[in-house]
Chain A
């Protein structure tokens, strides 16, 4: 688009965009407002986006009520636990592997890497079933391990992303460190990793989002309510047609969405860069 000198076009475009943005944002605004509205007012039309009176019953209800025998706090901590372990596992294994694929010359390296890359083409459905059976054989169904163990094996995407980044770090750094007598582990830990902070930050953010929001894996692997994570618990709460309170469901949703939203707003720059560079979704 040509740069236009008249601010009039800019203002018109701004107005159009904000109108569209408002429509895009409306469902979320409704969600927050509904979570703070009295139950009987939720489906009022026209709907007041600023509820009057402000009602916190939804939040109190969803956080204190026991769903399937456990309060929301349990599910919240399950989510935190799995996200934390998963983050550590994936960052560690992806970066170790990326270092190996980029900084160490060993026979078969590039062939193995290419083979790994090509597996990204396989749809998740194909692997979902046999992997479930493997975990079942290992007795890991209905455990949290089934949810964070996969991250220890280095997701192809994370490994690819980091490996590309590592290749931009000059080999001279490696070589001079080797002359000084440092082994690969030391070079990895003390030289390469500190330089990779921006790429690592991007990976952490995307992994955090993926782990926190994950619904499919807990759905497939978990059977005992005490192990449920927040997304799964939320779904179960909303299924409870007899006791369902819409305000509570919305309050639960806002609570579950908040951590990711905060991380996203704080680290926006990495997000946008990450998507445009690699094309990955959330």
Chain B
């Protein structure tokens, strides 16, 4: 049996991508349709298949009446608000690091270390540092004379700042490295021209660096927003969403509803709402980039 060369090529092509294709068809395409379908049902895993009821968009309506969900959304937004600060910090550090120092490779490694560390380790570590009575952070605060330091993970007021502290520490390295590479592509001639005009470092930073680095900022911003909405395992380890609903986020709530309470239908619809939220934010950024991002 002689197989024509052309046919051989086609067969080869599909064979090579077969595992990839199968995975895509089953675990992506089918899963998406499956998830969408379930989201319109009231499936409760504990009750099993028999009681499945097609309830249309009832899940979606219930979500917005659900206090836990609304709290989660508010918390996500709260965390979002700090992203600009975190990004700015990363830029500042990148700028200092970019200006030639001794041992820059070592510094880069140190900054990136939180990224390669397991979420469990980081969360456990920080929960010890933030221990209200024994942890180092409060001991330092108390040594400054503060009598009642924050209860951190145990306080509805301070749990979110505690998480932000941990996230900033963890995420700085990644953003910094992206900025470092972006900074390298800014032509030094711009700075030299500014020097000739007698511009201060301040002016150079705000008039040259920030505008020229805006493509990187755009990328970092989108990545940060997306990962903000997707994070949940650190919350699960640190606080389980508590105290109360003070630290719960949408992704965590989805996990909890699906795997602790078995409410698959509800959880699926929530995941689609999450998808829409992320899409909206990304689109807003995408449209907005014409206004503030300079592409060279």
Contacts and interface: CB of A to CB of B under 8 A. Distances in A.
Whether A associates with B in a native complex is: yes
B121 A97 contact: no
Interface size range of chain A in the complex: 35 or more
A121 B188 CA distance: 36
Contact of A27 (B28, B169, B174): B169
Contacts of A213: 116-119
B240 to A, nearest CB: 11
Interface in B130-173: 131, 134-136, 139-140, 143, 169, 172-173
Nearest to B24: A116
Contacts of B267: 129
Nearest to A255: B121
Given A14-B103, A43-B134, A129-B268, A101 B17 contact: yes
A126 interface: yes
B124 to A, nearest CB: 5
Given A27-B129, A123-B275, A215-B119, A271 B101 contact: no
Interface size range of chain B in the complex: 35 or more
B174 A257 contact: no
A256 B27 contact: no
B219 to A, nearest CB: 7
A125 B232 CA distance: 10
B125 A253 contact: yes
A231 B110 contact: no
Given A27-B125, A125-B251, A265-B109, A2 B188 contact: yes
B115 interface: yes
Given A133-B34, A268-B109, A282 B116 contact: yes
A16 B229 CA distance: 33
B53 interface: no
B195 A13 contact: no
B116 A261 contact: yes
A257 B14 CA distance: 40
B274 interface: yes
A263 B102 CA distance: 24
Chain A CB within 10 Å, residue with most, of B95, B98, B115, B219: B115
Contacts of A235: 120, 124, 237
Interface in A42-72: 42-43, 45, 47
Given A13-B100, A123-B230, A45 B118 contact: no
A93 interface: yes
Nearest to A119: B28
A271 B178 CA distance: 12
A25 B24 contact: no
A183 B13 CA distance: 12
Chain A CB within 10 Å, residue with most, of B34, B96, B101, B104: B101
A196 B87 CA distance: 34
A20 B121 CA distance: 22
21 contacts: A1-B100, A2-B192, A13-B100, A21-B107, A25-B113, A28-B117, A30-B136, A106-B13, A112-B17, A126-B271, A127-B35, A129-B268, A133-B264, A153-B26, A154-B23, A185-B12, A250-B125, A257-B117, A264-B112, A276-B178, A276-B180
Given A3-B100, A43-B134, A231-B120, 6 more contacts: A100-B17, A127-B28, A153-B26, A231-B119, A253-B124, A256-B121
